[in-house]
Amino acid sequence: MSNYLIIPVESGALLGGADTLKSSLTTDTTAGTPATYTLSQDDGDITTNGSGKHAVLTCVIAAGQTTLSGGAGRVGVAVGNQGYGYAVGDTITIPAGKLGGSSTEAVLTLILADVVDSAPASGEILAEVDDFANCIGNSAAEFKIQYLSGYDTSGGTPREISCVITPAESSAQALTNKLTNSISKCIMAENSQPILDLGDSKVVQVSFG
């Protein structure tokens, strides 16, 4: 008897990192004010012409600069704020006034390197739990399911499925708890395959170790 947990995976997350998107600026702002800005699509701080959702950009206009590309300026997205549904060629627009009162509009045009697409064609993975050892939220935005067998004897790494979610949970333990609840259902479901329930959050990156 094999038990599986179905993990839906969304495609098109933005690549996480402090400065992953600056090179995709096709129109830079002018007259910006030096500061760090957190710009949420859900709050209307940024817009897109595509179908991407929920991204939260972190933009920095460096001291003494008026543009994002000047000096140590940055355009990035934190892991857990990457959103999903974005595609190469989509634009993300930062409207005038969002980078300081006099700032002009800035536009990002997404290239291949900006978009993470680890979703399989089926849009889901099946995580078996028969061989399960533990499950844990490494952070509010990342979790792993570890297995007893298949230990990497050369590198000493347990076999595991690692996932990044967006939006992030409130804490690592809150994410662990949701994972615990879903895998518990899975263990107790002989004739069904429960779907991982993360509420409004979605898995956007999957890796296997």
Partner 1 sequence: MSNAVKIKYKDHNNYILIGTNDVLYVEQASAAVMKIWYNVFSEAGGKVMMNEVEFGVNVTAADVKALQNLIKEQNKKPGSTIPVYKLIGDDGSTDTFIDSISLDSATPTNPITP
Interacting stretch for partner 1, rule CB under 8 A, among 32-40, 47-55, 74-82, 169-177?
169-177
Identified binder of partner 1 from the candidate list 64, 156, 200, 208, rule CB under 8 A: 156
Q: How far apart are CA 13 and CA 114, in angstroms?
A: 8
Q: Does 165 bind partner 1 (CB under 8 A)?
A: no
Q: What angle do CA 159, 11, 23 make, to 5 degrees?
A: 105
Q: Does 132 bind partner 1 (CB under 8 A)?
A: yes
**2 and 190 in contact (C-beta within 8 Å)?**
no
Give one DSSP letter per residue of 108-121, joined into a string: EE--GGGEE----T
Number of residues that bind partner 1 (CB under 8 A): 31
Q: Does 122 bind partner 1 (CB under 8 A)?
A: no
Q: Under rule CB under 8 A, which residues in 11-30 are in contact with partner 1?
A: none
Q: How far apart are CA 193 and CA 127, in angstroms?
A: 10
**64 and 125 in contact (C-beta within 8 Å)?**
no
Q: Does 136 bind partner 1 (CB under 8 A)?
A: yes
Q: Does 155 bind partner 1 (CB under 8 A)?
A: no
Q: How far apart are CA 205 and CA 51, in angstroms?
A: 18
Q: Does 55 bind partner 1 (CB under 8 A)?
A: no
Residue 174's H or E segment, with its range, is helix 172-187
Interacting stretch for partner 1, rule CB under 8 A, among 23-31, 68-76, 99-107, 130-138?
130-138
Identified binder of partner 1 from the candidate list 35, 111, 113, 174, rule CB under 8 A: 174
Other Cβ atoms closer than 10 A to 65: 16
**36 and 164 in contact (C-beta within 8 Å)?**
no
CB of 40 or CB of 139, closer to partner 1: 139
CB of 193 to partner 1, least distance (A): 13
Q: Which residues here bind partner 1, judged by CB under 8 A?
A: 1, 3, 129-136, 146, 148-149, 151, 153, 156, 158, 171-174, 176-177, 179-180, 183-184, 186-188, 190
